[in-house]
Amino acid sequence: MLRKKLASALVATLALAMVVTVAPTASAAVKAPGIANAGDDCVKAGRIAKGRGVEGSDLTCLVVTTGSLKGKLKWWYKDVTPLTKLEWVSSSGVGGGYGTTAIAFAEAMKAEGMLSDYTVSYKSGGSGVVGLGYFLDQKSKDVAFITGFAMLAGVAANKSKLQHESAKGVSGLMREWEAIVVPTNSKYKTINQLLDDIKLNPKLPIAGGSKATLDHVFMGLLLEKVGLKASDMNYIPYSGGGEVVTSVLGNQAVAGVSGTSEFTSYVKAGKLRVLALSSPKRLKSIKGATLIDQGINFSMGNWRGVMAPSTLTAAEYLNWQKVVAVTRAGDTWKATLVAKDWVNQTDSGKTWETFLAAQKKDITATLIALGLA
């Protein structure tokens, strides 16, 4: 009973956040100072929206000078300073969710004039702990780290002494749904066919992200809903979606589970077939039925965000948040959200760090309850 309550609590927390943190509309209507957000239209240059920016900073009505909104009158940060270069640290291998998120947001930053150049360093291993350790060891301020559900879970599962609190939480970035896939020549056409076979043979190999990641927890909770124990699952962990795809296509696993964006191109190319999506409704970016469509009342989503070095000054930390807010307000990031069926997550600064602390507590309890940590 306890494990069911803990698991249900985590799913409810994630599901609620997926609902209330919605993607922005393509265009922003004129907003009065008291309700303005960065990127909203305004009508009188020089007017101030007191306390409407990140961490209670002010927004100013001004003509934007860079990016996709250049020449438009918007509520903006008049003192935001673009970043020159960044090393993004990804704890997944090439093709994994951390790296794809880093690239997507870095490209949006460049498009909006908020970043000149960037690289991505892939440091997979230890359920994300290797990448976190590498990031925390860096002396440069020009480094950023993509974190997520899997990172907090990896730290808990490995009983690592490394802590997110050793860095500064800049902002949430996005949320993403999960997909369960098989090769297109697989005998499985529906998720219930796969689950029925797993009931008969729990040792059927399922490929997914690192141990105790959302992929692992999601699949474990799904099996528990049909009467199996998550700890009995033959889960084969990999460092990222790219390796999961290789495992599935190479018939080393009967099915794979990961974020939708990591499978989309293979589904479109006819190499993989979606058995089920974890979203409440069908998605535009990837073809497939949801669990709910197939009679399983269950949905669950992932999240990722960005961390910066603890050595940032207060002014540098605030500017980082403003850079993210400006990037999020631009057309490039909005188009990325639509294309990938991602949900915008706008937690910033203290709010983001509060979210991380709550997730850390809930994820750890759920992993223990499911026997995964």
Q: Residues 31-63: pLDDT tens digits? A: 999 999 999 999 999 999 999 999 999 999 999
Which residue type, as a one-letter code, is found at position 197? D
Q: Residues 64-87: pLDDT tens digits? A: 999 999 999 999 999 999 999 999
> Which residues of the chain are in CATH 3.40.190.150 domains?
82-175+303-369
In 60-189, which residue ranges form alpha helices assigned H by DSSP? 97-111, 129-137, 149-157
Q: Taking 50 as the threshold, does the pLDDT of residue 22 lie above it? A: no
- Pull the structure tokens for residue 266: 């293979």
Cut 0.85: pTM above it: no
Alpha carbon distance 346, 138 (integer Å): 26
> Domain 177-301: which topology?
D-Maltodextrin-Binding Protein; domain 2 (3.40.190)
Report the candidate in 328, 350, 364 with the shortest Cα–Cα distance to residue 168. Answer: 350
Q: State the pLDDT at residue 57.
A: 97
Is the Cβ–Cβ distance between 146 and 101 less than 8 Å?
yes
Report the candidate in 302, 262, 303, 319 with the shortest Cα–Cα distance to residue 285. Answer: 262
3-state secondary structure at position 60: strand
Q: Taking 70 as the threshold, does the pLDDT of residue 251 lie above it? A: yes
Is the Cβ–Cβ distance between 29 and 46 less than 8 Å?
no
- Pull the structure tokens for residue 140: 């440069």
Angle at which helices 350-369 and 2-20 cross, to 10°: 150
| Interval 191-208 mean pLDDT | 96
Q: Taking 80 as the threshold, does the pLDDT of residue 20 lie above it? A: no
Class of residue 75 by CB neighbours under 10 A (exposed 0-12, middle 13-18, buried 19+): buried
Q: Residues 261-281: pLDDT tens digits? A: 899 999 999 999 999 999 999
Report the candidate in 213, 264, 215 with the shortest Cα–Cα distance to residue 95. Answer: 264
- Pull the structure tokens for residue 26: 């393509």
Alpha carbon distance 149, 36 (integer Å): 30
Report the candidate in 198, 239, 197, 196 with the shortest Cα–Cα distance to residue 216. Answer: 239
Neighbour tally for 253: CB within 10 Å: 23
- Computed on alpha carbons and rounded to an integer, the radius of gyration of the chain in Å comes to 21
Q: Residues 108-159: pLDDT tens digits? A: 999 999 999 999 999 988 888 999 999 999 999 999 999 999 889 888 888 8
For tokens 């290789």, what's the residue?
246
Q: State the pLDDT at residue 27.
A: 47
Strands 255-259 and 272-277: unpaired
The fraction of the chain above a pLDDT of 70, given in percent, is 92
> Which residues of the chain are in CATH 3.40.190.10 domains?
177-301
In the chain, which residue ranges form alpha helices assigned H by DSSP? 2-20, 97-111, 129-137, 149-157, 191-200, 214-225, 241-249, 264-268, 314-329, 331-340, 350-369
Q: State the pLDDT at residue 18.
A: 52
CATH architecture of 82-175+303-369: 3-Layer(aba) Sandwich (3.40)
Q: In the structure, what pLDDT confidence band is assigned to residue 23 with cuts at 50, 70 and 90? A: very low
